[in-house]
Copies of this chain bind each other. A is one copy, B any other.
């Protein structure tokens, strides 16, 4: 099926646990943000067997490495991930501590004029803080 190939194509064995986590993460219309703990809760709600916390961490990191997830650079005590791996930006509502996705078209092109020797730009992300 779709996730089996996805995993195999990136050198990850399609185990039962990984496929179930794929269902939770990717079998939705909308992308979303989550912490590991939120994901664990979602998994518990959706499936009846248990997936060890270590496996959730392993899988999320494996998926991040393969580009199926990405970390959101926010200062929080927990790490935030995003199932939207396209280049996109965020509003961060300081009052509610909530992240809001921006469409790429919501921000004009960003022109980086400075270069660092021997380094390539991997990503450009804008964080727009909002107040009342």
Contact = CB atoms under 8 A, between A and B. Distances in A.
A47 interface: no
Counting contact residues on chain A (CB < 8 A from B), the size range is 35 or more
Given A73-B75, A110-B107, A119 B124 contact: no
Interface in A84-132: 91, 93-94, 100, 102-103, 105-114, 116, 118-132
A113 B112 CA distance: 19
Given A79-B75, A106-B112, A122 B126 contact: no
Interface in A16-71: 71
Contacts of A111: 107-108
15 contacts: A73-B73, A73-B75, A75-B79, A91-B114, A100-B116, A105-B113, A106-B114, A107-B111, A108-B109, A108-B113, A110-B110, A118-B132, A120-B131, A121-B129, A122-B130
Interface of A: 71-75, 79, 91, 93-94, 100, 102-103, 105-114, 116, 118-132
